[in-house]
Structures are given as C-alpha cells and as structure tokens.
Amino acid sequence: MRLVGAAGGSTHIPRRVLGAVARSADLSADNCKMGITKRRPWERSAENEEREKEAAAAAGRFAGVPEAEEGSDVDSDSDLETEGTHGLGELVKETLYLRSCRVHSVVPASCFLRQGSDPELNLRHCGLGPQGAQALASSLNSNPYVKRLDLRDNGLCGAGTEALANALSKSSCICDVDLSENQLGAVGAQAICAALIANPTMQKVQLAGNGLEEQASQYLAELLLAHTGLKSLDLSYNQLNDQAGETLGPALAENTGLIELNISWNHLRGPGAIAFARGLEANIFLRVLDISYNGFGDPGASAVGKALRTNNVLEELNVSNNRISAVGARSLGLGLRVNQTLRSLVVSRNPMQNKGCLAVLKSVQDNPVSALELLDFSEIQVNREFDDLASSVKAVLPGLCIKTAAHRVEYKKELLPVFRSSLPASAPK
C-alpha cells in the first residue's frame, strides 16, 4: 500500500506497519469501557508486552524515512516520502502511547497527543503518577522529536522515575529535563543520576523540591564527577544538610563542565557549608552559583570569601538570607578586593546591617579591576554614610548597579550563551 502525499506523490508503507496501526484503531473506544483490569506496574501479560514491542518497532522505523520493501518502485530522492512518513510516524507514536496507557490502565494525557512533534513536551501538573510515567516512558523510547521534557509536579515518586530513567538513559535527543516536585527521594535520585551518567547528551536538569536528603547527595556527587556534558543543575528546595555539603563539596571541586548550579533553599550549614565553599574554590568551570536561603553563617561566608580570592571563573553569586553578620561580610569582602570575574553579587536579607554593607562596598572600592555590575543589598537598612560611599564607588565604576532597601534599580540578567545554543527555541529563558 502507498500513502498519498500533500502534493499528489506517494510513499510506500510496509504491510506489517499498517497491521500494527490497524490493530490499535479501536483503542480510544476501549478505554472508555469499564472492563479493563488494573494491573500493577510490574504485572504485564505476555500479550501486552508483545503488542508494545510491535508498536515500538513500527514507531522506530517511521521516526525518519522508511526503507521500501523489496521490489517496490519508491523514489528515494523524493521529498514527498519524508512528508508522508512523517505523518505516519506521528500516528504510530500516538498509537504506541495509547497502547501503553491501556497496558498500564491509565487515562492518556491529552496534552501529550496535542503537542505532536514539538521539540518541547510540556506535561507539568498533569497528575501522571508512577503508572502514567511508565506509559510515557514506553513512547519516549521511539520519539525522535523531543529535546526538552517538562514533567514538573506529576507525583512520579521513585517507581515512576525509575521507569523514565530507562528511557532517558537511551535518548539521544532529550537534552533538557525538568523533574521538579515529584517526590523522587533517594530511590528516584539514584535512578535518574545513573541514567544521566549513561547519557552524555543531557545538558540541563532540574530536580528542585524532591525531598532530596543526605543519601541522595551520594548519587548527585557521582553525577558531578562522571558527567562532563551537564551544564546546568537545579537542586533548590530540597533537604540537603551538612553531611550532604561535605559530600558535594569535593565533587564540585573535581567537576568539569557544570556552568550553573542552584542549591538554594536547602540546609547547608556549619562544616557542610565550609566544605561546599572549598569545592567552589577549586572549581574552574562554574559561572553561576545560587546558595541563597541556606545557613552558611559567618564561617561559611569566610570560606566563600577565601574562594573568591582564587576563583577566576565565577560570574554570578547569590548568598542572600544566609545569616551573615557584619563579621561575615568583612570576610566576604576580602575576596572582593582581588576578584576580577564576579559580575553580580546578591547579599540581600542578611543581618549584616549598615556596617556589613559598608565593609563589602569598601572592598569593591579597593579593587581597581573589579568586574562587578550588580551589588544587591535589598531588605538591609543603610544610612547616609553608605549612600555617600556608594556615590564615590559609582564615580569609579559607572556601570555598577547598587540595590538597597531605599534604592531599587533595574538590572537585566542575560541568559548565558551556552544555554542559548543548547536549548530549543520554544524553551523558556
């Protein structure tokens, strides 16, 4: 049989593929009936497994231009072949997903069917759950279009993440994945980190709000050590504590490749905060670091200040709300006196008061080669003495924006070039 293209051409379709599509044509109607027996994720019949394999093979063959059967007269140079098989590939992909949903006794996500071959598959807040994730994983294995996968807030838990991890480990297209707010825990973290290590194409991963604790930090450290292609990692809103900081710090020191790290809203304090800052001191790749809303305190601020003395790569640093007093601010300033690469420093919502703000600003004034463009002291009350010093500093560094509780200025942060080139056009900046 041949498929007629939009311009009147035709494309040869193997009979075995048409058979796989035809056998699943009544799937949507069957899903509306109540006679489906619900099985646990790991309880699949031999018949269901065979059906998934058959549809997967069909979808795989039609991800690109198919081969003609022996004896056919298909013109391999015709553009109509590509157009026709692209449409059939879409049909087979949807068929595979619907069949997989039937196997796992879940309702198909309509947004998956609507998005077709878009490079960004946005399924956030769809309530997939572990079984829905298993159904999705089967179709991802044969989907050549998706580059960015957004599964934020779907209650995947460890079981759902394990199913997805298998698909992600084999994908050569997906380079950006958001698994935030999915209750991954240590089991999910282990599965996803192992999958990422096996997939060098992954560049951006978001794991925020997943209840990751000390045990998960071991798997995250392995990821930092093994994956040199990963550029951006979001670990914010988790429960990584002192012990996690002591585990992640040495891994950060040895990491080669990571450019942006967000570990805000965790519990890095005491020795863990110091160990993490020492990792920053040795790192030679990281350009953007957010450690806000932890508990670094003055000892942690001192370690960060020491790191800034030797680190000549970091460009953006956020240490807001870290219990840093005027003492810690002075220690932080020691690094600012010699640092030549930092462009943005946010120290807002710290109890450093006017005295600490003055110490930081004087350090910048003493550095003739400072690259700073933004100093953010938001939510900290300063007095006239600070305002006078700020005017003097801006006379030397006219491009410097200084934010305080009384003076709010606009500062536009541009996306780093590496992220512009690696993400699809539809991905959010």
Per-residue pLDDT tens, the chain, 429 aa: give them: 444 443 444 444 444 444 443 444 343 334 333 333 334 333 334 444 444 454 444 444 433 333 333 434 434 343 333 344 444 445 555 678 888 889 888 999 888 888 767 899 999 999 999 999 999 998 887 788 899 999 999 999 999 999 999 999 999 899 999 999 999 999 999 999 999 999 999 999 999 999 999 999 999 999 999 999 999 999 999 999 999 999 999 999 999 999 999 999 999 999 999 999 999 999 999 999 999 999 999 999 999 999 999 999 999 999 999 999 999 999 999 999 999 999 999 999 999 999 999 999 999 999 999 999 999 999 999 999 999 999 999 999 999 999 998 766 555 555 454 444 444 444 333
Strands 316-318 and 374-376: unpaired
Report the SS3 class of residue 298. Answer: helix
Strands 120-122 and 10-12: unpaired
* Strand arrangement, sheet containing 176-178: 120-122, 148-150, 176-178, 204-206, 232-234, 260-262, 288-290, 316-318, 344-346, 374-376, 401-403
Quick one: pLDDT at residue 58?
Answer: 42
- Please report, for residues 7, 116, 133, 410, the alpha-carbon distance to residue 123 in angstroms, rounded to integers and kept in the order given: 34, 12, 11, 33
The b-or-e profile of 133-158 (16+ CB within 10 A means b, else e) is: bbbbbbbbbbbebbbbbbbbbbebbb
Tokens (6 digits) for 264: 């805000």
Quick one: pLDDT at residue 5?
Answer: 41
| Separation between Cα atoms, residue 262 and residue 290, nearest integer Å | 5
Quick one: pLDDT at residue 426?
Answer: 40
77: which residues sit within 8 A by CB, 6+ positions away? none
Strands 401-403 and 148-150: unpaired
273: which residues sit within 8 A by CB, 6+ positions away? 242, 245, 294, 295, 296, 297, 299, 300, 303
CA atoms within 13 A on the CB side of 260: 14
Q: What angle do CA 146, 135, 29 make, to 5 degrees?
A: 110
Q: What is the DSSP string of 244-255?
A: HHHHHHHHHHH-
| Separation between Cα atoms, residue 91 and residue 243, nearest integer Å | 50
| Separation between Cα atoms, residue 169 and residue 423, nearest integer Å | 19
C-beta separation of 247 from 276 below 8 A:
no
Quick one: pLDDT at residue 116?
Answer: 65
Residue corresponding to tokens 């990751």? 212
pTM of the model: 0.77
